[in-house]
Amino acid sequence: MIGRNYLFFSVALGAIGWLSLCSFGQSVAPTPKSTVTTPTTRPELTPEQKRSNELYVAFYKRRRQGFSTHSPSDNASRLLAKVSSGEVTLDNRDQRSLTKSLLAALDVPVSSQLLVYSGTASQGTKVNPKNPRALYFNDEVYVGVVPGGLVEMIGVDANIGGVPYTFRQVGTGSVPSTTGGEDCIRCHSGAQSGFAQGFFGRSLVPTEDGFIQGGEAVGTEGHNRPLGRRFGGWFVTSARPDVFGKAGLVAETEGTNRRRVTGYKMTRPGQLYDAKLHLAESSDILAHLLHEHQIGFHNRVARVLMSADDDGCQEGVRLSPTHAQDITNLVAYMLFQDEATLPAEGIVGDPKFAEDFSRNRRPAKSGAALKDLDLHTRLLKHRCTYMIYTRPWMEMPAKVKGEIYAKLRSALMGKDYIGSHLSDSEKREIVQILSDTVPDLPADWKSS
């Protein structure tokens, strides 16, 4: 019962994203005519269902209120403080100038550009295959730009997760103002991150005007999402089009009835939009895969942070997993358990993005590093997330991080099933890399 209501609220609270953030798969044959119709009535809820829903909403509000007074200390918030003080100046002559100066100030590479064309999020009415949203990112901050619309960014705070902002007065020449707070958090603290502040990575196939036809549920973000269910509503470059069947697909509908799908057509990057709208022509497959790994990581960390002081209960009714289960899920994800296998021929990403991605590579004494790419059967050569080096991880509350380290050590020392997919040699190499490169690793790691 609670599971069904959890799904209901997951959809209701997460339907409008801020950054519509991923899906790819095998070749997709034209889909037969759809009989999708809009329901005219909803079944009456039982008293038990109504009560469960009330508890769920109360749980949601209580969790959000617990962080309402927190002052975020993420890269996006830090930059805005520098802009306000005059330490940093953003070029606001036009949207393009603002985007370039913002990326430079945040050290976000242009080569990370991703293009999404599904009409989700707060600017959904302006996003479609003819006017895709551009996303840019590094390990700690994300920027979204809708041509002719607004510029947005979201940082990651060590205590609460994602912290989104929207720039206003773009192109006025003056210092741009920003909004955030309740307007953004309303969607960014939904069920996909346990009501902590997280990220969206929707995969769906829209119509040519960006109308959403349904797709992956919020909460499936991550490198373990099956390949055949990724990248719907996204353009993908640097990859064979026949391998990533959903990328570039646009739904065709029956006349003016946008809900009745009659088939799908494949569109290529740049076919329906002017590539000059964006800073780059790419929407690189490697950037897509790493982006999805990162937002999946952020959401799982956000759940751990939220459940650290809350056991997931409301008036005696369990409405979310326990803190211990959240940590288990996070560590399994950090070690790429159940990672979706790459296509048989592997992938080849944009060399410029691969170079930019590796700029902050941290090699161990052996020369190996967590950012070493594999790209044949999996993303990384050494299956432990490089996100362990980021500022939000380093500044995470010591007690919570200590619990995660203990679980991670247990998995790598062969004492926990969540590390069973790794060979003994790979485990030893990961332990050595972590011992050599992570400054706050507990002492018992190095003595093992």
C-alpha triplet 297, 302, 308: angle, nearest 5°? 130
Say what the pLDDT of residue 58 is. 64
Strand pairing category for 114-116 and 249-254: unpaired
Q: What is the pTM of this model?
A: 0.83
Q: Residue 443 is encoded by which pair of tokens?
A: 């002492």
Euclidean distance between CA atoms 80 and 89, whole angstroms: 10
What's the pLDDT tens digit per position in 153-209? 999 988 878 888 889 888 888 888 787 755 666 666 655 555 667 677 777 888 888
φ, ψ of residue 325 in degrees (nearest 5): -70, -35
Choose among 238, 349, 228: nearest CA to 286: 349
Say what the pLDDT of residue 54 is. 67
Say what the pLDDT of residue 188 is. 61
Cβ atoms of 281 and 269 closer than 8 Å: yes
Q: Which residues of 75-91 are buried (b: 16+ CB within 10 A; e: fewer)?
A: bbbbbbeebeeeebebe
Cβ atoms of 116 and 166 closer than 8 Å: no
CB atoms within 10 A of CB 316: 6
Written as one letter, the residue type at 416 is D
Say what the pLDDT of residue 217 is. 52
Say what the pLDDT of residue 214 is. 59
Say what the pLDDT of residue 16 is. 33
Residues in the chain, pLDDT under 70: 1-42, 51-70, 181-196, 198, 213-220, 239-245, 309-321, 446-448
Say what the pLDDT of residue 267 is. 86
Say what the pLDDT of residue 21 is. 39
3-state SS, one letter per residue, for the chain: CHHHHHHHHHHHHHCCCCCECCCCCCCCCCCCCCCCCCCCCCCCCCHHHHHHHHHHHHHHHHHHHCCCCCCCCCHHHHHHHHHHHCCCCCCCCCHHHHHHHHHHHHCCCHHHCEEECCCCCCCHHHCECCECEEEEECCCEEEEECCCCCEEEEEEECCCEEEEEEEECCCCCCCCEEECHHHHHHHHCCHHHCCCECCECCCECCECCCCCCCECCCCCCCCCCCHHHCCCCEECECCCCCCCCCCCEEEEEECCEEEEEEEEEECCCCCCCCHHHCCCCCCEHHHHHHHHHHHHHHHHHHHHHHHCCCCCEECCEECCCCHHHHHHHHHHHHCCCCCCCCCCCCCCCCHHHHHHHHHHCCCCCCCCCCCCECCCCCCECCCCCHHHHCHHHHCCCHHHHHHHHHHHHHHHCCCCHHHCCCCHHHHHHHHHHHHHHCCCCCHHHHCC
Cβ atoms of 370 and 426 closer than 8 Å: no
Half-sphere exposure of 218 (CA within 13 A, CB side): 31
Contacts of 232 (CB under 8 A, 6+ apart): 23, 118, 202, 203, 204, 205, 215, 216, 246, 247, 249
Strand pairing category for 133-137 and 151-157: unpaired
Euclidean distance between CA atoms 321 and 326, whole angstroms: 7
Euclidean distance between CA atoms 147 and 164, whole angstroms: 19
